[in-house]
Amino acid sequence: MAQDGDGMTLATARLAGYADRTAIVCGAGQTTYGQLDAASARVAAALLEGGADLEEARVAVLARPGRDYVDALMGIWRAGGVAVPLCVSHPRPELEYVLNDSGAALVLADRAMAGPALEVADAAGARVLTLASALSAAPSRDPDVCEDRRALILYTSGTTSRPKGVVTTHANIAAQVTSLVQAWEWTEEDRILHVLPLHHIHGIVNALLCALWSGASCDMMDGFGAGAVWSRILEGEATLFMAVPTIYTRLIAEWERGSPAEQDAMTSAARGMRLMVSGSAALPVSTLERWEEITGQRLLERYGMTEIGMGLSNPLHGERVAGSVGSPLPSVQARLVGEDGDPVSDGAPGEIEVAGPGVFREYWGKPDATEAGFREGWFRTGDVAILEDGRYRILGRQSVDIIKTGGYKVSALEVESALLQHDEISECAVVGVADEEWGERVAAVIVTAAEGELTLAALREWGKTRLAVYKVPSLLRVQEGLPRNVMGKVQKPAVRALFESD
């Protein structure tokens, strides 16, 4: 956490204590905490350009996963700036939107992303500083950065509206990190295999910053490949792995393609890890069960979002219930409320509201949206859940995953979970489509697992044996894939648009 008067911030204050330990492993080699400390000091000096303090100036980061990204992030923070991570795979218009909305006048770029950075910066009226150039600066005195200053702006995925910049302070980040370090028992002996994007809270806080806070090692892969991930797991050094459900699905498929001897080796290596976590999207029960069958690992599912960090988690020790995201993490308060804002009774659906020191400060430049996001100090997540035996089960987003049809409220996630039990369905997405008679109709896009054509009539006949008739899809499309963002989360507006175009 930031300390008044020592020129250190949340992240950099802990680097010196682990000086000789390995912090980052990537394609460029291994980096110790001491080397990371020295490099980020040079980046900070380059950003300050002889000044005393960036005073919360926004600095964008466009860098591939690896040491350069971490040097940039730490350098921005110790110079007193606000980091705005950009997605390396986003098209130019989306990058320009983030630069313009955040007001970032500078982009820190690594060698691989220097060209794209110059293009987008020029269009947005910003300038580019390469990491190679920044690392040649002579270190200078860091400013004093107190814990309540802004540290990070992450943009929401924009699944229901235009992306908003979520502002967290150094204190917010410290609370998010320490909550997870405590709950998941991180130690300096841990080594996490990191395959997640670094413009998203899952990759930045849960994986990277928890490792650095703990003195652990972070093995950063530049993108995901199922074969490459299994190869790293087979090396036997990783103790933790965090991913989205889509990644686990692809790892399962890669395991199934292996020979019996290869499968045995993969199973043994995965079984030796101490924790595997799934998040950022609902984990199908079938995926959880199959992963446990082939690895002996029961995935720990948790719930979080950009605005709160992680809020709920299944236990590290104890029963992890399929379909549940567990209970509140340390320092997190959670409750379920009805449309009137009053708490609901156990077993009744309600919107999740969260409070605690990890909750974000504001939406950048959007005071009305910030005010609307809170109710009496509680952040309104927009996610609907029920509480069963002290555990939360997510039903879906109020505006996306709760379908109102014929006077009933239907959880799209419940329908998706049921559809995935069908032998011919490998992936699916369920949405509500406007209808004059029913208000909304339950519509499904499916990806089939084998040759053949699954008809709507056949699906409805099968579905009625597992779901109430009003929950069974009455509209169906069969496609080769689902529209997803870079985190693997299905883009429900794009799914709905498929039916609206018909």
Q: What residue segments make up the domains of the chain, in order of their start?
A: 12-18+32-169, 402-501
Q: What is the pTM of this model?
A: 0.84
Per-residue confidence (pLDDT) for residue 2, from 0 to 100? 37
Per-residue confidence (pLDDT) for residue 13, from 0 to 100? 74
Fold (topology level) of 12-18+32-169: Rossmann fold (3.40.50)
- Tell the residue number behind the tokens 């098209």, with chain if given: 91
Q: Euclidean distance between the first and final Cα of the chain, in Å?
A: 53
- Identify the CATH homologous superfamily for domain 402-501: ANL, C-terminal domain (3.30.300.30)
Measured in degrees and rounded to the nearest 5, phi and psi for residue 392 equal -95, 135
Per-residue confidence (pLDDT) for residue 285, from 0 to 100? 87
The C-alpha atoms of residue 13 and residue 464 are separated, in whole angstroms, by: 58
Per-residue confidence (pLDDT) for residue 10, from 0 to 100? 60
Q: What share of the chain is helix, strand, coil (3-state, %, to 5)?
A: 35, 25, 40
Contact by Cβ (8 Å): 453, 478: yes
DSSP 274-337: SEEEE-SS---HHHHHHHHHHHS---EEEEEETTTEEEEE--SSS---TT--BEEPTT-EEEEE
Query: Which class for 500: exposed (0-12), middle (13-18), buried (19 or more C-beta within 10 A)?
Result: exposed
Per-residue confidence (pLDDT) for residue 387, from 0 to 100? 94
- Per run of 10 residues, the mean pLDDT along the chain (length 502 residues) is 43 80 96 96 96 96 97 96 94 89 97 95 94 95 92 78 87 96 98 95 96 97 94 97 90 96 98 95 87 97 96 97 95 95 90 97 96 95 93 83 76 87 92 81 90 88 86 93 83 89 72
Per-residue confidence (pLDDT) for residue 436, from 0 to 100? 66
Per-residue confidence (pLDDT) for residue 158, from 0 to 100? 53
